[in-house]
Structure 1
Amino acid sequence: MEYKYIITDINNKIFCCIYTSDNTCHYLKPLDSGSVVGNIYVGRVENVVKNINAAFIEIEDKQKCYYSIPDNKAPIFFNEKNNPAICQGDRILVKVITEPLKTKPAKVSSKIELTGNYSVVSNDVKGVHISKKIKSNETITEIKKRVADILIQKQQEAIEKTGYDYLSNFGIILRSGCADADIDDIIKDVNTLCDEYTDMLQKAVFSKFYTLVHKDRPGYIEEIVHLSGKDSVEIITDIPAIYNELETYLPHSSNISIRMYKDELWPLYKLYSIEKEIDTALSKKVWLKSGGYLIIEQTEALSVIDVNSGKNVAKAKSMEAIEASALKTNLEAADKLCQQIKVRNLSGIIIVDFINMNQRNCDILMEHLKSLAKKDIVNTTIVDITKLGLVEITRKKIGKSLSESLNKA
């Protein structure tokens, strides 16, 4: 698939948008320069709450973050301890994995990993692992062997830099982009990332509470690298500073092209009608070309989508014609609502009330929904259709929804 990744300024706010080859917008969000997601800190355990099996850890500016104890089996402590259990006052290395949202604090994890263009260094794996998306061959086997030798060397360097054997417990994952990359570029990426990782550990050992020991690269860079793993991505921006960041961080790949847009008479956001996409994504009512419409409501617990036939009312009186009309409207609604789910970045539980149909047409609709869900870059599952005819969808939470990002929730 071919993607266009647009980064543009609208009323002094930078937006990132993803368009497919048919010029359909599938992703839209403001660029948050103040995000702490991906940053790694030396945190202080402020409190351990046993009844929820969690701890609250303070990072910079004494911001409290939620830490799940069962989900973090190998915490990295920098203070002397008599037991492996997390305790109040511990000096612990954590990575921010989600932003604070409304009354919920940010979440942190002891899974410490740095992500490069072709590799990931993580304390959550041992040895060298290869992405499941890569088919094994002689070249990949040779790369894995060379990377394994580098890993042994870098683990020894980690011990020498920090003075602690346990800080050498990290491994390497080779990303899907390795399949088409030059071997020298992969080895360079692995070496650079391992050096960053060991330097980060060395800094953390001698740092005080709340210290930022690693700032992650911009989130949109990682999104582009992820997309380019198996698809071609053309990045277009009209912001010189963003263009320079793209040139600095992105790998030289045949799947990635970068273009600086210059046209004072016709701005980039107008060329792709981004303002219209934003207005539609913030609207409760979304029209379909057939005359039907969607009602999309986002609540604290779940999101609800209602499909209505609207002006698309079948004139024919036969049951077959009515069923055919309902199926046509529902299939069009499925395309639109899946697009809107992605643009709005809805997550968690999503309930859809389609127009009532017979079982045969319901099966056709469900298969169509499942095929659409597979195209989403965020993990999306079409669960089932209930006895009341409601379709259940779940979607992994990745960041804030569009309305939350724009403070319109």
Structure 2
Amino acid sequence: MKGRTIILDHIRGREAAALLVDGQLDDFLIATDAPAPGTIYRARADRPVKGQGGMFLTTPDGPAFLRQVKGLAPGVHLLVQVTGYAEPGKAIPVTAKLLFKSRYAIVTPGAPGLNVSRSIRDDEERDRLQEVAHTEMGKSGFGLILRSACVGVDADEIAEDIAQMANLADQVLQDDGDAPGFLTDGDGPHVQAWRDWTDPADVVTQPGAFAEHGVLDLLDDALSARTSLPGGGFLFIEPTRALVAVDVNTGSDMSLAAGQKANFACAKALPRALRVRGLGGQIVLDLAPMAKKDRRGFEAVLRAALRADGEETSLAGWTPLGHFELQRKRGRIPVAEMLK
């Protein structure tokens, strides 16, 4: 099956969304019981953490942790937004820099300026979008980023999207409550799929679509520890409490370049493998043997693959034992935990 297909359905009573690209599961979203990223609270500052530059906060969903809190005193109320998922037993990660994100627009109350995504390179299109931005936000003190999905979209549709996000931002910032409270919820899987999977695709919404389109079988394959690579190699991806271990194997290839080929294939396949599984945190790659002169090429391939991935990931580098380490934002709860 060629092309892109977005399937919106439910699995085990939870809202879920699957993105298929050429018949392969490229992304998968599932609702969780934890506060979704994007949720906004009115929180109370409780206890500073010396040495970490952070503060524990009280929210309606439990304790949260805010970094970079210079000048913030205990007892003060402030607006914060959930940025990811916490490990079991830890506080919810939040930020005081609020973003109101939709399909075409991101309204940034704390960062003035009207901007167009850098990935839009056509000068005429950038000028058109700048005009739309100035028309809708010219008198506002909020900042705005127009996303790459705006390319070729009717100006009225973009303007409507901007207005909705600006109105939501205005309502939230006018909050004058004096106790911890809930203000807005983060997007669920179906809305997030509409917001972020913007490339042209067939969209399927009827109940039972996961079974009809083979998503359940693809999900079983994707969540197994072993992932096949082009050329006969394979990965073992095994989450532990401390980190995610990725073991690269050459398989039946016994050539001198087998290690290099398997490692480069791993670099291309790893972002999708982590994304579909919902894995983040510390990622440690135990690569197949290859010459040190090939390390720079491996990093270049991995960096290019991660550039197209939506989750923030930093390359930590090589260890003395020859492992390669990544640090990936915990933007999702592992899918395997949700499907137990």
TM-score, normalised to structure 1's length?
0.70
> Which residue of 123, 126, 151 corresponds with 2:137?
151
Within-5 A mapping of 1:189-268: 189-202=161-174, 204-205=175-176, 207-228=177-198, 231-239=199-207, 267-268=208-209
Q: CA deviation at 1:290?
A: 6.5
> Which residue of 127, 135, 149 corresponds with 1:141?
127
Q: CA deviation at 1:60?
A: 1.6
- Separation in 2, partners of 1:285, 1:297: 9
> Which residue of 239, 251, 257 corresponds with 1:298?
239
- Separation in 1, partners of 2:233, 2:241: 27
Q: AA paired with 1:295?
A: F
Q: CA deviation at 1:65?
A: 0.8
Listed one character per residue, the Cα deviations across residues 64-85 of structure 1 (whole Å, up to 9, x for unaligned) are 1111134xx7xxxxxxxxxxx3
Secondary structure at 2:120 match in 1: coil
- Describe the shift of the 1:226–1:289 C-alpha distance in structure 2 as closer, same or farther (beyond 3 A): closer
Is 2:4 aligned against 1:3? yes
Within-5 A mapping of 1:9-408: 9-20=10-21, 22-32=22-32, 35-60=35-60, 63-70=62-69, 85-135=71-121, 137-138=123-124, 140-141=126-127, 143-145=129-131, 147-148=133-134, 150-153=136-139, 155=140, 169-202=141-174, 204-205=175-176, 207-228=177-198, 231-239=199-207, 267-286=208-227, 293-310=234-251, 312=252, 314=254, 322-330=255-263, 336-358=269-291, 368-380=301-313, 384=317, 388-406=321-339
- Describe the shift of the 1:145–1:44 C-alpha distance in structure 2 as closer, same or farther (beyond 3 A): same
Secondary structure at 1:222 match in 2: helix
Q: CA deviation at 1:95?
A: 1.7
Higher mean Cα deviation, 296-305 or 334-343?
A: 334-343
Listed one character per residue, the Cα deviations across residues 180-201 of structure 1 (whole Å, up to 9, x for unaligned) are 1212222222233222222223
Secondary structure at 1:297 match in 2: strand
- Describe the shift of the 1:125–1:223 C-alpha distance in structure 2 as closer, same or farther (beyond 3 A): farther
- Separation in 2, partners of 1:332, 1:133: 26
Residue 246 of structure 1 corresponds to which residue in structure 2? none
State whether residues 84 and 92 of structure 2, in contact with CA within 8 Å, keep that contact through their aligned partners in structure 1.
Answer: yes
- Separation in 2, partners of 1:148, 1:176: 17
- Separation in 2, partners of 1:280, 1:115: 32
Secondary structure at 1:38 match in 2: coil
State whether residues 109 and 169 of structure 2, in contact with CA within 8 Å, keep that contact through their aligned partners in structure 1.
Answer: no
- Describe the shift of the 1:89–1:329 C-alpha distance in structure 2 as closer, same or farther (beyond 3 A): closer
State whether residues 226 and 235 of structure 2, in contact with CA within 8 Å, keep that contact through their aligned partners in structure 1.
Answer: yes
Listed one character per residue, the Cα deviations across residues 117-164 of structure 1 (whole Å, up to 9, x for unaligned) are 3222222211322222223635643553554354354x4xxxxxxxxx
Secondary structure at 1:56 match in 2: strand
Task: Considering fraction of residues, name the structure with more helix.
Answer: 1
- Describe the shift of the 1:302–1:190 C-alpha distance in structure 2 as closer, same or farther (beyond 3 A): same
- Describe the shift of the 1:362–1:172 C-alpha distance in structure 2 as closer, same or farther (beyond 3 A): closer
State whether residues 127 and 151 of structure 1, in contact with CA within 8 Å, keep that contact through their aligned partners in structure 2.
Answer: no
State whether residues 9 and 209 of structure 2, in contact with CA within 8 Å, keep that contact through their aligned partners in structure 1.
Answer: yes
State whether residues 59 and 209 of structure 1, in contact with CA within 8 Å, keep that contact through their aligned partners in structure 2.
Answer: no
- Describe the shift of the 1:282–1:2 C-alpha distance in structure 2 as closer, same or farther (beyond 3 A): closer
Higher mean Cα deviation, 281-290 or 22-31?
A: 281-290
- Separation in 2, partners of 1:53, 1:208: 25
- Describe the shift of the 1:50–1:148 C-alpha distance in structure 2 as closer, same or farther (beyond 3 A): farther
- Separation in 2, partners of 1:333, 1:171: 39
* Structure 2 unmatched ranges of 5 or more: none
TM-score, normalised to structure 2's length?
0.82
* Structure 1 unmatched ranges of 5 or more: 74-84, 156-168, 240-266, 315-321
- Separation in 2, partners of 1:44, 1:382: 35
